[in-house]
Amino acid sequence: MTPLALETKGSVLVVGATSPIARAAAAEFARQGYAVILAARDKDELDRIAADLRIRSRVEVTLLPYDADLKGSGTRLAEIALELEPPLIGAVWVVGDLGDQDRAQEDVTHAKAIVRRNFTGVIDVFTPIANAFEARGAGFLIAVGSVAGDRGRAKNYVYGAAKAALHAFMSGMRQRLDRKGVRVRVVKPGFVDTAMTFAMGPLPLLASPDKVGQAVARAATGKKDEIYTPGPWRWIMLIIRHLPERVFKKTNI
């Protein structure tokens, strides 16, 4: 028989836990012996994912409600997560929603909802956790960003802007907290094979959510601050970021 769950390494909070990337990340944390706290809105899905994690990795799984659209939800989530045992050692932000760019151009409310779901929500959750980690002098914060946040494109710039804000937020926290022993990481996936991209048909460098989820979990212990996944996106985005605006604006990238 395999050993039962290894000695407990602390809890990891996964926010937006019902997405396939989050599920894979949580499974990887569980495999490494962390207790996991899953937060999302969809109770039925949370229950299914939690049952699966418990059966496959035999770790402790705690479920908490979180709804980015609900005022105060993120603050409450952080409060509760910080009180749970075993103590919180890491938090992962996997909330993301592409939305509908065409609609966002007509409907400002929709545009703002995209920004809230991809960015403003993280402020409520990560601020108190970051402060607690800072006081403790240990912990990690990981956010799943996107290559779309590296440069605004006509196709999805509201989403891209929200992701860019997320990247900047994390980068600032990194500079503030790295010296205090808190690791702050951003994982930037390219196209991931999820419901978000399924209807688009075959896409270049399409990554499985499992691969991205594993990259997220590995980011906690790895040395890199910003992780592109799959790797080649680092070089693609390097080029795209450095195209002069007068050239970029004329392309259809």
Q: Which residues are catalytic?
A: 159
Q: Least distance to other proteins from the beta carbon of 244, Å?
A: 33
Q: Which of 9, 31, 41, 151 binds other proteins (CB under 8 A)?
A: 41
Q: Of the ranges 35-43, 148-156, 181-189, 235-243, which one interacts with other proteins (CB under 8 A)?
A: 35-43
Q: Does residue 99 touch other proteins according to CB under 8 A?
A: yes
Query: How far is the C-alpha of 154 from the C-alpha of 161, rounded, in Å?
Result: 11
DSSP, collapsed to helix, strand or coil, labels residue 125 as: helix
| Closest distance of CB 178 from other proteins, Å | 31
95, 11, 99: which is closest to 53 by C-alpha? Answer: 11
Please choose, out of 28-36, 85-93, 167-175, 190-198, the segment that lies near other proteins by the rule CB under 8 A. 190-198
Within 101-120, the residues that bind other proteins by CB under 8 A are: 103, 110, 113-114, 117
Phi, psi of 150 (to 5 degrees): -80, -25
Report the length, in residues, of the chain.
253
R_g (Cα) of the chain, nearest Å: 18
Q: Does 45 bind other proteins (CB under 8 A)?
A: yes
Site for other proteins in 128-147 (CB under 8 A): none
- Name the H helices within the chain: 20-31, 43-57, 73-83, 101-106, 108-115, 121-136, 157-177, 195-198, 209-219, 233-242, 245-248
- As given in the structure block, the two tokens for residue 54 are 């418990």
In the bound complex, what is the minimum distance in angstroms from residue 192's beta carbon to other proteins?
Answer: 12
Residue 187 burial by Cβ neighbours in a 10 Å radius (0-12, 13-18, 19+)? buried
Q: Is the dihedral of CA 246, 247, 251, 253 positive or negative?
A: negative
Is the CB of 39 or the CB of 182 nearer to other proteins?
39
Residue 51 touches other proteins, criterion: CB under 8 A: yes
Place of tokens 């809230």: 116
Nearer to other proteins, 173 or 207 (CB): 207
> Is residue 31 within the footprint of other proteins (CB under 8 A)?
no
Instruction: Say whether residue 67 binds other proteins (CB under 8 A).
Output: yes
The nearer residue to other proteins, 96 or 139, going by C-beta atoms, is 96
Quick check: 16 binds other proteins (CB under 8 A)?
yes
Task: Please give the size of the binding site for other proteins, defined by CB under 8 A.
Answer: 37
C-alpha pair distances (Å), 67 with each of 38, 60, 117, 169: 12, 23, 9, 20
State the residues that interact with other proteins by CB under 8 A: 1-2, 16, 18-20, 40-42, 44-45, 48-49, 51-52, 55-56, 67-69, 95, 97-100, 103, 110, 113-114, 117, 194-196, 198-201
